[in-house]
Amino acid sequence: MDKQILPTKQGQIVRSLIPLDGIEPQESFILGDDPSHFNESELVLVYSITEFLRCQAKGEKPFGNKIKLNSLTVIGEDLKSWVEGWNNA
């Protein structure tokens, strides 16, 4: 596994380093909280990207999950650049 990159700003795309009940291991999340207001062991709000997109299509608000900040790793700086990165992979 690559080195963990702790989230530093709201909107980053992250993955959990620990298994979460009822969530696919490769699920990606959008960080909903600004991590600068939390210490590394506190819970932060994240939104499943899969759920986020489903809710957007229905005009509904997505359900968020609380995950410890230090159990997340950054995989994209924001949704736009993360999606654009697929074309360069």
Residues 40-89 have pLDDT tens digits of 999 999 999 999 999 999 999 999 999 999 999 999 999 888 888 887 76
**Backbone Cα Rg of the chain:** 13
Instruction: List, edge to edge, every strand of the sheet that includes 72-76.
Output: 64-68, 43-48, 29-31, 13-16, 72-76
Are the C-beta atoms of residues 15 and 72 closer than 8 Å to each other?
Answer: yes
Interval 14-38 mean pLDDT: 92
Given a cut of 80, is residue 1 above it in pLDDT?
A: no
Q: Which pair of tokens denotes residue 7?
A: 């989230």
Given a cut of 90, is residue 32 above it in pLDDT?
A: yes
Please state the pTM of the whole predicted model: 0.88
What is residue 22's predicted lDDT score, i.e. its pLDDT?
A: 84
What is residue 43's predicted lDDT score, i.e. its pLDDT?
A: 97
Helices assigned H by DSSP within the chain: 49-58, 79-86
